[in-house]
Amino acid sequence: MGNAFFVVWRESLEAFLIAGILFAWLKVNDDAGHGRRALFAGLAAGVVLALLLGWALVTVQDELTGQALDMFQTATLLVAAGLITQMVLWMKRHGRQMKARLHADLSAAAARSGYLGVAVVAALAVAREGAETVIFLYGMAQSGDLSALTAGAVAGFAGAAATAWLAAKSLARLNIGLLLRLSSLLLLILASSLLIAATDRLIGADWLPPLIDPVWDSSLLLDDGTTGGKLLADFTGYRARPALTTLLVWVGYWTLVFFGYRRAAHG
């Protein structure tokens, strides 16, 4: 539940902030209010596009069995981990210019195709966040309780709405920039855990060799089969008895993230 809450909160918060930026631009540049109606229509269309992606994923899974299903679910974990990482690095590189980029896109769209262009910009902006959320949640659903996942997702959406409202009202001196930076780090940790889960599946299916299994056994300190250990394992990828391949994948991931983050910071 905690992972689902965090992912939905983070992605929904970005969607709320994007919607707020677009609305603020239209409030100044759209006296008649037609553009704002187009904005709301675009936001609704973005949500529908994300839901259609979710439906497509479930439909594909229902058509697969055996090894093909295992491959599809493993691929979903890998895609989710990759998308999370790409999103964090992209935000690190372009986050400061996000407001200016959205305003520029909106101005160009309004000039080219009027209110339809406004709706398209809003739909694409929200659909991107929504589609990523669907893929993240689908990846988590491969190894989690569906009811807890649903509850966490609903709570995350409500939390994002509350956070955006607090930010808009400037209450409690809410620092959105700090929140997004901290959440970016937590998202990278979550992405690494999804990558480790995919690696475990690949080793279990004999698609990857374990090399040395296990490298150590820390179950006396914290067993990943217990309640606390499982929570840590689900969120961070902790393994009490890791295979060498798993450790190499984890080290390789964080090495790539380190250099990618430095490059994004100086880009």
User: Is the confidence at residue 1, as pLDDT, over 60?
Assistant: no
Q: For 74-104, how does the pLDDT look when each residue is reduced to its tens digit (9 = 90+)?
A: 888 888 788 778 767 776 765 555 556 655 6
The Cα-based distances of 124 to 19, 83, 167, 253 in angstroms read 11, 17, 23, 29
User: Is the confidence at residue 267, as pLDDT, over 70?
Assistant: no
pLDDT class of 253 with cuts at 50, 70, 90: very high
The Cα-based distances of 239 to 97, 144, 146, 184, 225 in angstroms read 39, 16, 23, 23, 9
| CA 61 centroid distance within chain | 21
pLDDT class of 151 with cuts at 50, 70, 90: confident
Kindly provide the residue ranges of all beta strands, DSSP E only, lying in 165-245, ordered along the sequence: none
Q: For 42-74, how does the pLDDT look when each residue is reduced to its tens digit (9 = 90+)?
A: 888 888 887 787 778 778 777 777 788 788 878
Q: What is the mean pLDDT of the chain?
A: 76
CA distance 161 to 245: 41
User: Is the confidence at residue 206, as pLDDT, over 60?
Assistant: yes
Q: For 9-19, how does the pLDDT look when each residue is reduced to its tens digit (9 = 90+)?
A: 767 776 776 67
CA distance 86 to 195: 14
User: Is the confidence at residue 209, as pLDDT, over 90?
Assistant: yes
According to the model, what pLDDT value does residue 172 have?
47
Please measure the distance between the N-terminal and C-terminal CA atoms of the chain and give it in whole angstroms.
Answer: 36
According to the model, what pLDDT value does residue 245 have?
95
pLDDT class of 178 with cuts at 50, 70, 90: low
Q: For 155-175, how does the pLDDT look when each residue is reduced to its tens digit (9 = 90+)?
A: 877 877 777 777 666 544 555
Q: For 210-230, how does the pLDDT look when each residue is reduced to its tens digit (9 = 90+)?
A: 999 899 999 888 888 887 777
CA distance 94 to 197: 30
